[in-house]
Every structure is written in structure tokens, then in C-alpha cells.
Amino acid sequence: MWETFGFEFVNFYLIPGLVLGCIYALGAIGITLTFSILRFANFAHGEVMMIGAYLTWTAMILSDSLFGSSLHPLLAAIPAVVIAIALFILVDRYFYKPFRAASTIRVVMASFGMMLVIRSFVQAVWGPNQLTFVPGIAKPNELVKNLTLSMDMMILVPNKHFWIIAGTLIIMLALSWLLTKTKIGKGMRAVSDSPELAKVSGIDVEVIVKATWCVGGFCAVAAGVFLAMDLQMLETTMGFRMLLPMFAAAILGGIGRPFGAVVGGLVIGLAEELSVYPWFGNGSLISPGYKTGVAFTIMVIMLVVRPSGLFKGRLF
Amino acid sequence: MSDLKALEIKDLHAGYGETEILKGINLSVKPAETVAIIGPNGAGKSTVVKSILGLLNVISGDILLNGKDIVGVAPDKAIKQGISYVPQTHNIFPNLTIIENLEMGAWTRSSGISERIDEMFQLFPDLKIKRNKVAGSLSGGQRQMVAMAKALMVDAKIMLLDEPTAGLSPKFQAQIFHTIKRINKNGVPILLVEQNAKQALEIADKGYVLVDGANKVEGSGQDLINDRNVARMFLGSK
């Protein structure tokens, strides 16, 4: 059973699906929070993921030339997180805040413009070509391999995937603590529930907005770095390509539901990978070229059948 | 001290943008008083409350909280100065638990939050049992209790209630009026906007009848109930 079916399914479809799901989930958290707290679809979210990955790469290169050894991407991501959050807050202050009182479509357009600005900026600074993020072949984690071998299975999780899954789990736990145990996190949920009531409850909504960009920015950079670790390369459209599945994940989970976004991300990541598994006969179920269509299909079906998402999110 | 008012509104003109809805409102709430504002739909009852909170444009006039002018103060700052406000609708955070709702009401407080929560649970014992339930799962009457408890988490110098019994069953309406009276007995002055004019006037020390953005009649609650014109217009009797 394992030989004929499990090995291939788990190692080549399930684990990559989970990894992709983790990346979508992290990106979708930021999208769903911005959507519910600031009430707009932020098209520039993918670009912050992308610039976060570029900044991380730069920190790795810098540490290599200064100290002779390259930092692990997860450590190099720390300065990237700080810069990306600062970028998010500055962009909000000067490009989105002036539109706060206007109709939503204006700030959506502003975020669309910001998406192009950030991408062009990255192209101007780092160049339009692909860059190698981490060279070499990803070796499977020996520990997991030996452990599962003793159980008559052989699960091959490359170290990069191990880090992505573990990192996502840790971020989820931290986010859960933030949103349910801290004053600022509860305030974020309150503003997401009802910004009008939050205002007349004495909650300083602008503080909550900044906190939202911090959380969204952190998760976006994590998603960007994980994506770069997975692909082992960087390109300026990497964030934009994530945008549709991330929106699909946010909608699937329900707008304003960060944990819904996580479930949505995992479902869409898995659905994309499992849709090319040869369920019937030898050929893949759908051609890999249509993989990205899976997220779109799920999003459309969800919007038609249950627009509030799996976890009863907000409707606008 | 005797003429110090918890809240005093002098010749208030206010509205949305340039549209003037309030055309000269005068009213006052003394410490320990319950004051009811009644009047037909569109008379501007809720607008009075919204102007006190700084939610809309005050064109001219004064709003004094304990003698201090609060015109132009932003809503979150007004709350911090001790205005406890229960909106008519959307007055709870439905996806937060009861206790989290109370904590959000205490946003501007820096200390004494858990003591205050205990006080609220004494005032609303039903809420204590369900403290960890999300507020959206409660019945209409219980939601109103959460909304009132949440609003009282500030050190209230005055409590503003915008139609707290709208859409509730008669049983819950009576309960809400009873609770308002109890809150008032604890020393919180109350300004109440109500559709249920008769019940509101019954618990009120003073009432104002608003018509077309100005106060037409004022008097003690009992006097207004006995006033034939008021009775004909709002209390449903002939």
C-alpha cells in the first residue's frame, strides 16, 4: 500500500500541498485583517510579501560579505520584518489614510497603484531578473526520514519544508495568543466586528489600524520568505501570483476570521496540489497548467453558495 | 453645588454636514436625575445624543459635561471624559465574549477593570453565568444587558441610552427600565431617548418633548404623563 500509493501521494502531493497552504494561510491572515478592520481589499499585500523576501535575501548577502557566512533565511527575515512593517505604516499614513472617509473603491485603487509602485521599485533596485535565494538541492530531513522508515514508511520532508510548516505553526499559536489574550488583539477583533461601536467605546481606532499593519506585515514577510525558501528563488511577480489564492483563502474562511483564513489557505494549498494527483488512471486529474484555476474555482463557488465563508465572516 | 448640572445643553444647533436637524435644544440633567427625551420619529432625539458624543457636526450652542464644554471633542475622548453611551443598534461586539465586551468598554480605563467587571456581574447576574459565551449568541434582552454593562465600564459622569427598549418584548422592556432605575440609584445621571414614552416618563424625574428639532414641552415625568396634549400625541390615549 505504502509502496504503491502512499510514498508518492504523501511526499509529492500532500506535503507540498501543506507547504503551499501554509504560505497562503499566512498571506491570507493579513488580507482578512485589513479587509475587516480597514474595510478594503489590499492589492499591495502580495508586494509586501515579495519585498520582504528581497530584503531578507539582501540581509543574507550582507551577512555573507561581512562575516563570511550567510544567515539562515529565518534570521535574515528579522530586519526585513521591521522594514516591511515600517513600509506598511508609512504607506497607510500617506496613501490610504487620506481616503479613509471616502468610498472604499478609492482606497482599493490606491492599493492597486501602490502594488505597481512597490513592484517597480523592487525591479529598479534589485533588477527584473530572477535571483537565487538559496542555492543547491533541498535534502530531506534525516530525522523525519529515519523515524518514518522505522515505521515502514519513508517520508521525505526537505528541511526547508520542515521550517515552513514549523514556522507557520508557531506564528499561528502566537497569533491566537495575541487575538484572544491581549488588549490590542481583542481591540482588533472588536474593530473588525464593528468600527462604529469601537469608536464610541473609546477605542482609539488608529492605534488598532497600526497594530493591524504590524500583524499583517509580519505574516506577509513570513509568507514571502517561506515562499522564497520553497521556490529557492526570487522574482518580482512572486507576490502578485499569490494574490488570487490568498484572497480565495480569506473568502473561503470568512472575511474577518484569521483562523478561517488559515483553514482556507490550507484547503486551497492542498486542493491545488491534490488536483494534479493521478486519482484515476495514470494521468493527473487536471493538467498542472490549470492548478491556479483551482483557487479561483473555489472562490467563485464559495461566493455563490456561501459568501460569508466557512466560518461566517462579514459580508460587505 | 446644587445648580451644577451633570449635563447641560444650551441652544444647540446641529446636524449632518450643513443640514440642520436640531434647531435650538435646551436641556439639563442634574446629578442623580433620570431625564427622558420623547417625541415623534424624526424629531431629532437620537441626534441630540450623537451631538453630545461628537459624532456629528455642531453648528452652534454649548454642551457642558459637569460644567466643562465638550463641543468638538472626538468620540473616543468624550468617552474617556466619562460619557457612558449605549447606541440604539449594533451596541455589542457579537463575536467577542461577554467578558471581552466588558473589557472593550473599559478600553480607556487603566485600572480597576476586574473590580468593575465584578460590579457589573452583580448588577446583571445573568451575564456572569454566560461570561465566556460570545455576545452574538444571546437573546435580545441579554444583548441589551451586555450593551449597558459594557457602557458602564467607564467611570460614568452621565449615561446616554438611545432607545434601549426598541424591538424588545414587553417583559424585557420592563426589565430594562427597572435596571435603568437601579443604575440611576447607584448615582449615575441618565439621559434616555425613548419611543416607549409612557414607561420612560414613569421612571424619569424630568422629561422633554422634542418636535422638529426643538424642545416643545418640558416637565416632570408625571406632569407630562398627565398633560393632555402630550398624552394625545405620544401616549396613545384619547
Listed in sequence order, the residues at least 6 apart from B56 whose beta carbon sits closer than 8 Å to its beta carbon are: B14, B15, B16, B47, B50
Taking an 8 Å cut-off on Cβ atoms, the answer to whether B90 and A194 are in contact is yes
Query: What pLDDT was estimated at residue B235?
Result: 61
Grid cell of A110 as nine digits? 490606491
Rounded to whole angstroms, how far apart are CA atoms B85 and B108?
A: 14
State the DSSP code for A129. S
Rounded to whole angstroms, how far apart are CA atoms A66 and A44?
A: 33
Considering only the beta carbons, identify the residue of B79, B80, B100 that sits closest to A186.
Answer: B100
Q: What share of chain A is helix, strand, coil (3-state, %, to 5)?
A: 75, 0, 25
Taking an 8 Å cut-off on Cβ atoms, the answer to whether B79 and A202 are in contact is yes
Pairing of strands B190-193, B34-38: parallel
Q: What angle do CA A250, A251, A252 make, to 5 degrees?
A: 95
pTM of the entire structure? 0.88
Considering only the beta carbons, identify the residue of B93, B96, B108 that sits closest to A202.
Answer: B108
pLDDT greater than 50 at residue B1: no
In which band, very low, low, confident or very high, does the pLDDT at A6 lie, cut at 50, 70 and 90?
Answer: confident
Provide, as residue numbers in chain B, all residues whose Cβ is less than 8 Å from the Cβ of A201. Answer: 79, 104-105, 107, 150
Any chain A CB within 8 A of the CB of B54?
Answer: no
Residue showing cell 449632518: B16
Residue of chain A whose Cα is closest to the Cα of B102: A201
pLDDT greater than 70 at residue B2: no
Grid cell of A204 as nine digits? 482609539
Considering only the beta carbons, identify the residue of A183, A190, A202 that sits closest to B76.
Answer: A202
Query: What pLDDT was estimated at residue A170?
Result: 96
Any chain A CB within 8 A of the CB of B23?
Answer: no
Taking only the tens place, the pLDDT of each residue in A61-119 is: 999 999 888 888 999 999 999 999 999 999 999 999 999 888 889 999 999 999 999 99
Nearest-CA distance B138 → chain A (Å): 16
Any chain B CB within 8 A of the CB of A197?
Answer: yes
Taking only the tens place, the pLDDT of each residue in A198-248 is: 999 999 999 999 999 999 999 999 999 999 999 999 999 999 999 999 999
pLDDT greater than 90 at residue A141: no
pLDDT greater than 70 at residue B74: yes
Any chain B CB within 8 A of the CB of A187?
Answer: yes
Per-window interface: A 92-121 vs B, CB < 8 A: none
Query: What pLDDT was estimated at residue A2?
Result: 67
Instruction: Identify the H or E element spanning A9.
Output: helix A7-9
pLDDT greater than 60 at residue B238: no
Query: What pLDDT was estimated at residue B130?
Result: 93
Rg over alpha carbons for chain A, rounded to the nearest Å, is: 20
Any chain A CB within 8 A of the CB of B94?
Answer: yes
- Best CA proximity match to A33, nearest among A255, A195, A239: A255
Rg over alpha carbons for chain B, rounded to the nearest Å, is: 17
Residue of chain A whose Cα is closest to the Cα of B149: A201
Any chain B CB within 8 A of the CB of A182?
Answer: no
In which band, very low, low, confident or very high, does the pLDDT at A316 lie, cut at 50, 70 and 90?
Answer: low
Query: What pLDDT was estimated at residue B91?
Result: 93
Per-window interface: B 113-152 vs A, CB < 8 A: 150
Listed in sequence order, the residues at least 6 apart from A67 whose beta carbon sits closer than 8 Å to its beta carbon are: none
Q: Would residue B36 be called left, alpha or beta, if left means φ above 0 and alpha means ψ between -120 and 50 degrees?
A: beta
Residue with the larger pLDDT of the pair A225 and B171: A225
Any chain A CB within 8 A of the CB of B105?
Answer: yes
Query: What pLDDT was estimated at residue B236?
Result: 57
Query: What pLDDT was estimated at residue B227?
Result: 83
User: Which of B83, B84, B95, B143 best probes binding to A when mutated, by most A CB atoms within 10 angstroms?
Assistant: B95
Nearest-CA distance B149 → chain A (Å): 12
In which band, very low, low, confident or very high, does the pLDDT at A4 lie, cut at 50, 70 and 90?
Answer: low
In which band, very low, low, confident or very high, does the pLDDT at B87 lie, cut at 50, 70 and 90?
Answer: very high
Provide, as residue numbers in chain A, all residues whose Cβ is less than 8 Å from the Cβ of B104. Answer: 186-187, 190, 198, 201, 203
> How many CA atoms lie less than 13 Å away from A133 in the CB half-sphere?
27
* CB-CB contact of A141 with A157 (8 Å): yes
Taking only the tens place, the pLDDT of each residue in B4-44 is: 889 999 999 998 877 889 999 999 999 989 999 998 888 88
Rounded to whole angstroms, how far apart are CA atoms B149 and B138?
A: 14
pLDDT greater than 60 at residue A180: yes
Is the Cα dihedral A6, A9, A12, A13 positive or negative?
A: negative
Is the Cα dihedral A156, A160, A166, A168 positive or negative?
A: negative
Per-window interface: A 232-261 vs B, CB < 8 A: 256
Taking an 8 Å cut-off on Cβ atoms, the answer to whether A202 and B100 are in contact is no
Residue with the larger pLDDT of the pair A157 and A268: A268
Taking only the tens place, the pLDDT of each residue in A238-290 is: 999 999 999 999 999 999 889 999 999 999 999 999 988 888 877 778 888 88
For the segment B91-108, the average pLDDT, to the nearest whole number, is 95
Nearest-CA distance B233 → chain A (Å): 33
Phi, psi at B31, each rounded to 5°:
-55, 140
Taking only the tens place, the pLDDT of each residue in A296-311 is: 899 899 899 988 888 8
Provide, as residue numbers in chain B, all residues whose Cβ is less than 8 Å from the Cβ of A205. Answer: 76
Taking only the tens place, the pLDDT of each residue in B105-136 is: 999 988 899 999 999 999 999 999 999 999 99
Alpha helices in A254-307 (DSSP H): 258-274, 291-305
